[in-house]
Amino acid sequence: MAKNYYETLGVEKSANADEIKSAFRRLAKKYHPDVNKDNADASAKFKEINEAYEVLSDSTKKANYDQYGSADGPNPNDFFKNAGSGGGGFNFGGSGFGGFEDIFNIFGSAFGGGQAKNSAVQGGDIVMKMTLNFAEAAFGVSRTVTLMRTEVCRDCSGTGAKDGKDYSTCSECGGSGQVRYAQDTIFGRVVNTGTCKTCGGTGKIIKEKCSGCGGKGHRRVQANVSVNIPAGIDDNQVLTLRGEGEAGLRGGGNGDLLIEISVKPHLLLKRDGFDIKLDLPIPFTTAMLGGKIKIPSLDGKLELTIPEGTQTGTILRLRGKGIKHLNKNAHGDMFVNVIVELPKTLDKGGKETFKALEQTLGTNAYEKAKKYNDTMNSL
């Protein structure tokens, strides 16, 4: 095979439709051009991913690809070349083919057979972006999004006929959308199956078309969809609303609505999983004497007690003040990183005060400095 679509999506050949779709979404999110604007390689990779998914998500194309290495099925010219060459040609009685039944199966798709037009087609997914602020992502929020999508025509219930009833079953194909026909080939007459030309593969003869959709059975409409964003959702996560995408054709299921979440950063708080972190600068006097400092939190402004003698780099933990876990009755914690700040400049009075303080405290008041000096003096 010229291209290994399974390898492109990172799935096994035995992967089912859900596994293939999940792999595609994960890779499409990673290599999306909007996320990699300055990366030409990512754009090329995104195209490869789309090409692979287009084939593997379609049952007919996937079957052709698995059997022939091409989504379009076999190329009859290749068979003709093999038939006229000395090696690798047809072996009607040996191991190459089991007989004319195998030939009919191979040339069925090459000469117009295969999936009928009236078979069900799964609706496509719709991708949207949504931006939330820090609090909305933490607590959850309800939004209504407006989008354009294909829906089954309500006037005719998808039949394409006036009032949904003004049609009859095609007498040519009996409603199947397919007919059998004979075709002469170099191997003789081949009986094949193809799309019924009388009804166009729909299996129905519409007497009068639906005025709402013009006989198509579906139409583009503007829809409002309610979206409940769960508490705890994070930046770059994708929310999936099943069945809210494009309508399927001829009884096929609807696609999904995929909402890519973008969360605006907070001015002071940072998220780490379900925990919240805050860098808190405090005056060195507050660190020495202790005190109370106001800090932001998801519950509003809180008053944090700074213990006497707090050192820079001290982490104060506030249990349960973090982000709610998705779909769980549990919260992360809040971690406050204390940064002790010294004044960069002092006036004359301040310097005198510090000199007096230095004499009062002496070097023994500083444990780490004393340990360093003792070690240094021992060298």
Report residue 297 as tokens: 């939190």
Tokens standing for residue 346: 């002092």
**pLDDT the model gives residue 16:** 87
- Quickly tell me which residue has 């051009």 as its tokens: 33
Q: How confident is the model at residue 261 (pLDDT cuts 50, 70, 90)?
A: very high
pLDDT value of residue 94: 40
pLDDT digits (tens, 9 = 90+) for 186-227: 666 777 777 788 877 777 888 888 888 888 888 899 999 999
Q: In terms of pLDDT, which residue wins out, 307 or 32? A: 307
What pLDDT score does 265 carry?
A: 95
Higher pLDDT, 60 or 88: 60
Share of the chain above pLDDT 70, in %: 84
Residue 187: per-residue pLDDT: 62
What is the C-alpha to C-alpha distance for residues 2 and 71, in angstroms, rounded to an integer?
12
Provide the pLDDT for residue 46: 82
DSSP 164: G
Asked if residue 355 has pLDDT above 50, the reply is: yes
Biggest alpha carbon–alpha carbon distance for the chain: 113
- pLDDT score for 262: 94
Q: Mark out the alpha helices in the chain (DSSP H runs).
A: 5-9, 17-31, 40-56, 59-68, 76-84, 100-110, 134-139, 284-289, 348-361, 367-378
What domains can you pick out in the chain, each with its CATH number?
270-378 (2.60.260.20)
- Identity of the highest mean pLDDT range in 13-22, 51-60, 76-85, 314-323: 314-323
What is the per-residue pLDDT for 47? 84
pLDDT digits (tens, 9 = 90+) for 333-347: 999 999 999 988 888
Query: Is the model's pLDDT at 362 over the cut of 90?
Result: no
Question: Which residues make Cβ contacts (< 8 Å) with residue 54, sequence separation at least 6?
Answer: 61, 71
Indicate the length of the chain as a whole number.
Answer: 379
Angle made by CA atoms 372, 376, 379, in degrees to the nearest 5: 145
Read off the pLDDT of residues 144-169 as tens digits, 9 standing for 90 and up. 999 999 998 888 888 888 887 778 88
How would residue 173 be classed by pLDDT, with cut points 50, 70 and 90?
confident
pLDDT exceeds 70 at position 1 = no
Kindly report the average pLDDT of the chain as a whole number. 82
Supply the pLDDT for residue 259.
93
> Can you tell me the distance from the alpha carbon of 304 to that of 247, in angstroms, rounded to the nearest whole number?
54
- From 124, 376, 107, 78, select the one nearest 243 (Cα to Cα): 124
- Can you give the pLDDT at residue 278? 96
pLDDT in tens, 216-238: 888 899 999 999 999 999 998 99
Q: 104-141 pLDDT, tens per residue?
A: 444 444 444 444 445 677 889 999 999 999 999 999 99
The radius of gyration computed from the CA coordinates of the chain, to the nearest angstrom, equals: 35
Query: Which residue is associated with the tokens 């929020």?
Result: 141
Name residue, tokens 């769960």: 230
- Taken in order 97, 98, 103, 105, is the CA torsion positive or negative? negative
pLDDT at 30: 83
Q: What phi, psi does 289 have (nearest 5°)?
A: -95, -15
pLDDT of residue 73: 60
Mean of pLDDT values over 269-288 = 94
Contacts of 72-78 spanning 24+ positions with Cβ under 8 A? 73/109, 73/110, 73/114, 74/106, 74/107, 74/109, 74/110, 75/110, 76/107, 76/110, 76/111
Q: Which residues 6+ apart lie within 8 Å of 286 measured at CB? A: 293, 306, 310
**Which pLDDT score is estimated for 98?**
41
Distance (Å, rounded) from C-alpha 355 to C-alpha 350? 9
What is the C-alpha separation between 321 and 319, in angstroms, rounded? 6
| 117 or 356, which is more confident | 356
Q: What is the pLDDT of residues 300-332, one digit of tens each?
A: 999 999 999 999 999 999 999 999 998 888 999
CA-closest candidate to residue 203, choices 117, 122, 123? 117
Q: Is the pLDDT of residue 97 over 80?
A: no
- Residue 20 CB coordination number (10 Å): 19
Secondary structure string (H, E, C) spanning 97-123? CCCHHHHHHHHHHHCCCCCCCCCCECC
Q: How far apart are CA 33 and CA 38, in angstroms?
A: 8
